[in-house]
Amino acid sequence: MVRSPRPKPTKSPRSVRGAFYLPWRELLDVLALGTWSMMLFRYWFGGKLLLLLHPDYAWLSNTAAVVLAATSLYKLFNLIKDQIKPSRARQKTAAQTQKAVDDSHVTLLPRNLSSLILLGVAVFGLIYIPVAFASQTAAQRGIADTLTLTRAQPQRFARAAAPAERSIIDWIRLVNVYPEPDEYTDEPVDLEGFVIYPETWPPGYVMVSRFVLTCCAADAYPVGLPVKLPDSQLGNDRPYPVDSWLAVSGTIVTDTLDGRRQVAIAPTEIRTIEEPKNPYEY
């Protein structure tokens, strides 16, 4: 009886690669997590986080940065440890890990594609430089000199002891509760804001405005107060560039704009300043 020769066992592609096999899926996950962590750390230590998020919620982003960094380092440590194992043990571990992932996850997108999308968004976040909202966004969202019912309003409001210490949003909230402008005549004002020239206002007026954040930049809305320019500047329609920042000191007067009586600022001093590190109010 003639015995047929035994077929030689074929080696799998992974076993042929041996020690040079790299788990690309896991490396892509580590890279995506690490890049997201770097992006959040960049906003945190670069001082740009407050342009995107209310300070009360900044701790969520900062915590996420630490957790993502720890997770990516932990996964990278496990990958390096697996690479040190003998080839067969490493293949068995990889197969068990992949089976566990496949059994426990139901995804709409392939895993590699999901990781690539996350990585792409994080890379964009690393490249993108946030900037503060200005007049163009204010015109699109509408500038308010009162707070509508859909925005945060005080349930109980007490006047600040020193009117000169009130910010723009403090004045808006105060006028929203006590709308009679004559009540504030001759009260001192000291405000900072960026320049807007509303199209419906006559020459000689400028609005100092700031954006207010309640949660994040997506819900920011602009508020502002009119400034009646001194007679010496009436010959120039726009003496201050749009979006430039001004520090205005003066007193409150009653004026009529857009057919409505409202508070305005009669300035005693107007100074051009740099944009504040945190240009928003809360």
Residue in this structure with the two tokens 């996964």, named with its chain if needed: 75
Round to whole Å and give the CA distance between 244 and 134.
9
Round to the nearest angstrom and report the end-to-end CA distance of the chain: 93
CATH architecture of 135-273: Beta Barrel (2.40)
- Give pTM, 2 decimals: 0.70
Round to whole Å and give the CA distance between 52 and 130.
8
Q: Where are the beta strands (DSSP E) in the chain?
A: 188-196, 205-212, 221-228, 245-257, 260-273
- Give the chain's length: 282
Round to whole Å and give the CA distance between 36 and 115.
11
Tens of each residue's pLDDT in the chain, 282 residues: 455 555 555 544 444 444 445 677 788 888 989 999 999 999 999 888 988 899 999 999 999 999 999 999 998 888 888 777 655 555 555 555 555 555 555 566 666 777 788 888 888 988 888 888 877 787 777 765 544 333 444 444 455 557 878 889 889 888 888 888 899 999 999 999 999 998 888 888 999 999 998 888 888 888 999 999 887 676 677 889 999 999 999 999 999 888 889 999 999 999 999 988 888 988
Burial class (CB in 10 A: 0-12, 13-18, 19+), 107: exposed
Domain boundaries, the chain: 16-127, 135-273
Residue in this structure with the two tokens 């704009």, named with its chain if needed: 257
